Structure 1
């Protein structure tokens, strides 16, 4: 969905006329969606959007998204362009994939929420004192309990399922006024730098992932380090337009000057989006090969295998720290 969104946005940027037409079309469709109408029979559909809709066959009725957070802008844009229902589900393999889910309500808000609890499980938000999230404030680690949760507790599941049967997800959620859950942070994979600052790498990677020149990112640090470093796989086509200079993608990624300039640009982008100074990477390595299931750096659901990525790039990241110290 993200790549499709980026592709359409790039098409809009190629021409002021194309951009104006698509923005007008999506604004018109948004008005209808907000009034509860999902249709492919508008004039905009027939004259302009049908061509885009046909990229995926032209007959999409419902689009289900899961496995990773979906940017609300992307969800809204997909609904406007393809005139379909978008259901965003949230859960884990350990609770059979779906603990919450947005509904078929036509006028659902594009607010980043993942819907209310589903009838087969209950939810509580557990305190995360280190991150200043407390259940009494409507914020905390999302925990599931119900018949859909895997069996436990036992010696092997004790870290995941507590003695009361609650599955601890590692995700931090917030109750919204309408009874839905919004995922706002991540508890797992958090580390503390030598300066005492807590870092939630996946949350930061999510911000950098919005940059059009970034395809994948892995942020890393530890309690022995005062700063962070990162492994970044650039989005090849867009990256090469700006940094190619008559060379191959691999050559551009290997150029230290290019990496330095790229780091300045993406850090500026991230800071403008709320990333704090102590959270940004101080050095990066540009990788020309995507993390994938084949190279065992992604799970089958396209999530990063953080221990595997860390192991593969540890020597490179240590060199990055040497460069920072020098």
Structure 2
């Protein structure tokens, strides 16, 4: 038998043993293609997963054997920001030291004065004054004659920025610039108050501040001195008071009292001595204290109310 005959005989035997299965070839090819596509798609996703670890992700598209498009990853969602801690509130406004009385509540400005007249007789008097509470006056160092006085919180009558203030209590309203302070003084001049020329009235306003300079801020002391020193007839020279303490001496002629002399400590602006040729008063000691030797009383003051005393 030829080889062809053997082959045909083998096929015939197989047909007898294995039943014939009809295969529709139209479905075989697409199915095979789908399997291949699935394998390739899985492989692509695996690669995409690896690449995504380096910051890239695969863009979902219909599969193409030649093109795989990779795009930059979308920005990672930021964690919600925690609101910053608000800054602390600013500290309350504090007036500059140049505008505040050096005598705080509960304290007094103590001054010890020694006066000498033309005859040479000396007298001692002491004062405890405050802009916040009643004070005390004592003559001859004898507490038995102590006299109560009201708070020294009225500076006078002034016209400031066009406003007339009969009893100025707010020391910060008076400027510490000498030119501005003189302008306030001149605006406050009245024909029926004080005596003399306008210049003499301005000097009187400056003098009133200087004799209680311990209750005033330092800047205002210096401004009042500058106003008095700059008026016609005033002369300022270096010198000393009658006890030999060095200071700045201001001589000013006044119609009623003749030549008036003031001596101050230029560092603090506090008066060391004041008076005229007939009598001089030396301020021997002055400072802030936190107590008075005896309690001021309305009975000792002779007043009905502290505010009017």
Q: Determine which structure has the larger strand proportion and give its number.
A: 2
Structure showing greater relative contact order (alpha-carbon pairs closer than 8 Å, 6 or more residues apart): 2
Q: TM-score, normalised by structure 1?
A: 0.25
Whose helix fraction is larger, Structure 1's or Structure 2's? 1
Q: TM-score, normalised by structure 2?
A: 0.26
User: Which of the pair has more CA radius of gyration?
Assistant: 2
